[in-house]
Structure 1
């Protein structure tokens, strides 16, 4: 395992938050979720520190739900999390710093699942699409 860089606030553009263990990553997620309210819909950009162009990953948290987004060499088209159940049939918006990012309908999954897929991305060093959640291609 390498090191992850994470960005969700303006100051992270020049000084990303760094984590080098699963424990640090889990604590960061707990702290991030504790510091937000439902409706905040915070989106975190995540990349492998020593290889930032290897794969793109985003993790979003909004109360007890969230989203994930992945693009890597093994996915010709970027994918987002998929709930696998009928639910929110409208797109949802998450916020990275001051940028709005729309996610397709049915992309919200439990926040614990987003944390699990984020940990899997870290443990595999971004080498492949994480398999702990269902994915849908971005249309």
Structure 2
């Protein structure tokens, strides 16, 4: 039960931060990308603040021997830039630039039932399912990632 409450609390804080920072507003996000037109640099401060909090948070949290709600830290061991990383980053960036939503920004406003948000979220879920299917078909038998 405590794990559920911590997850719920983290989600609320994240969603509130996304909304407060304006990242749930696709017009604000699209204006951030429109450097030749109605450029709005304010999201750079939101992203910079998030980067600072994350960097500091990792330094503090990773000093602990283990997380509070798990036995070990689950950190990526991948240290190379490869095709899946580049393709995923490109898909994320293109989707964000075209739709004005990133997954983190769309989820807090899904309750508005805005057709643009529902379309984006449906496409995101379909993309995740398709990517997992492609990845599972390309894995050698007995190998799990």
TM-score by length of 1: 0.27
Looking at secondary structure, tell me which structure has more strand per residue.
Answer: 1
TM-score normalized by structure 2? Answer: 0.26
Higher helix share: 2
